[in-house]
Structure 1
Amino acid sequence: MRKPVETAAQVCPVEVAVAVLGGTWKLTVVKHLLEGTLRFGELGRLLPLAGARTLTRQLRELEEDGVVNRTVYAQVPPKVEYSLTELGRSLEHIVADLDEWGARYPDQSS
């Protein structure tokens, strides 16, 4: 368990969720992976504001936390695919609710 998640577990389950999913672009990555397996370049095109280093770091953390699978194929050039684990797929309704809430927010916040 990553240190931030371990620390959050001592506080509150909500903090655990935030520690696992609260990084830059993580929920958006999960949202896109709910639609199917993607390669790094495909994720990069879907998240044009995310830098490659940031996206790599977030994917590694999601993998370490058991949300994302990373599959490396032994070929040249290297092929790496990302998909959701069963744990990652369990976020489907949460991500859909957050997506809907975020779409409504601009109209309701003024």
Structure 2
Amino acid sequence: MSVSSEGALPVAVRAVGGGQEVAITGRIDVHSVPDVRLLLHEIIDTGNGDVHMRLAGAEIGDATGLGVLVEAYNRARRAGRRLAVVDMTERTGRLLRASRLDRALVLRDGEDAVPVVAVTA
């Protein structure tokens, strides 16, 4: 497991069967998004397989937090990969549903759970 030394948010990245798991802890907002964006770009561009984002310890603070998820989803799709949000808080799940991002992102309740929502084009 590696932990990012950049930025304000602790981010742990580890290899999982067929992809990477990214665990973000803290508030994802206008102040932390640039660092999160750089890390996600690196993971998507240099890895392979699905990207599992663990957001149980994260709080999406504003629209830029949602925007970085959409950007990562689009980048992963262009790279032939899928982005799955796993272990999110109840608040994050409500926010993704309210913004209708649940229609684009693959949402999973746990690591081995069946996708709640399929990826759409």
Query: TM-score, normalising length from structure 2?
Result: 0.28
Structure 1 or 2: more strand by fraction: 2
Structure 1 or 2: more helix by fraction: 1
Could you say which structure has the larger radius of gyration? 1
